[in-house]
Amino acid sequence: MIFLLVSSIAGYSGKSRIIMAIGLILRKMGYKVGYFKPFGARTAFLNDRIIAAKELFGERMKLAVFNQLGGYKRSYIQSVAGKTLKENGVELIGTSPQDSVLGSLFVSEIEESLNAEFIVRPERDIMVEEVLIGAMSANAAVEHFKGNIEPAEMVVKRAKENGIPVLLVKEDTLKAVAKLEEVMGKARIKGEVKIERIKELIKNYVNVDRIIEILQLQPS
């Protein structure tokens, strides 16, 4: 049996996403793949740099993938960090970009995380990719930014007509949005849309063939 350990230098960095995608891709290629999550994964070395992890694992650590990189960071990692890693015996085989679909939340997850109540429940569990607060006058904000206030009947009616979900939360608007922003950075891989998206990203941005070569895998 051949083992592939996937770890990171920070929490909520997308390890499960990468593992899931690589596993599904390898399985489709004819390899037999299993999965287990070891206890105590968040050990002290995860707070150190990759090179410190290399010193800890030695020759067992051969490859690195950077995940959820936005903007200029991908170019920097490929040109600068990739060279440094290579000098220290770690091969950079992928830099996956940040993705709004993977970072999104289903409405049901928002309901759960905010302990909210549906005023208008959608026919299907749609995804929310970003959160915005509408601008309004100071007097209106004092009233509307309070928690547990139901919208006007006309607003609810239009939401129902257009299939737009409406949630009622106990907290004020700013606290609710702060909670959502925190949860959105830790969104779970749920639903076929997200699974297919992470597979697509790994295929496009990670050298899976190099993983197969390093592990010397043989199709089952």
The domain that holds 123 is classified in CATH as 3.40.1390.20
Asked whether residue 135 falls in the same domain as residue 177, the answer is yes
Asked whether residue 173 falls in the same domain as residue 195, the answer is no
Q: How many CB atoms lie within 10 A of CB 18?
A: 20
pLDDT at residue 207 greater than cutoff 90: yes
pLDDT tens, 75-96? Answer: 777 777 777 788 888 888 988 8
Asked whether residue 176 falls in the same domain as residue 196, the answer is no
Average predicted confidence (pLDDT) for the chain: 79
> What integer pLDDT is reported at residue 71 of this predicted model?
72
Asked whether residue 171 falls in the same domain as residue 211, the answer is no
Residue 220: inside a domain: no
Closest C-alpha to 104, from 158, 39, 53, 180: 180
Higher-confidence residue of 39 and 141: namely 141
Residue 55: inside a domain: yes
pTM above 0.75? no
Counted domains in the chain: 2
Model confidence at 12, in pLDDT bands (50, 70, 90)? low
Closest C-alpha to 149, from 157, 161, 141: 141
Range of the domain at 194: 15-99+189-215
Buried b (16+ CB within 10 A) or exposed e, 181-203: eebbeebeeeeeebeebbbebbe
Asked whether residue 90 falls in the same domain as residue 110, the answer is no
Average pLDDT over residues 120-128: 88
With contact defined as beta carbons under 8 Å apart, do 19 and 200 qualify? no
DSSP summary character for residue 150: P
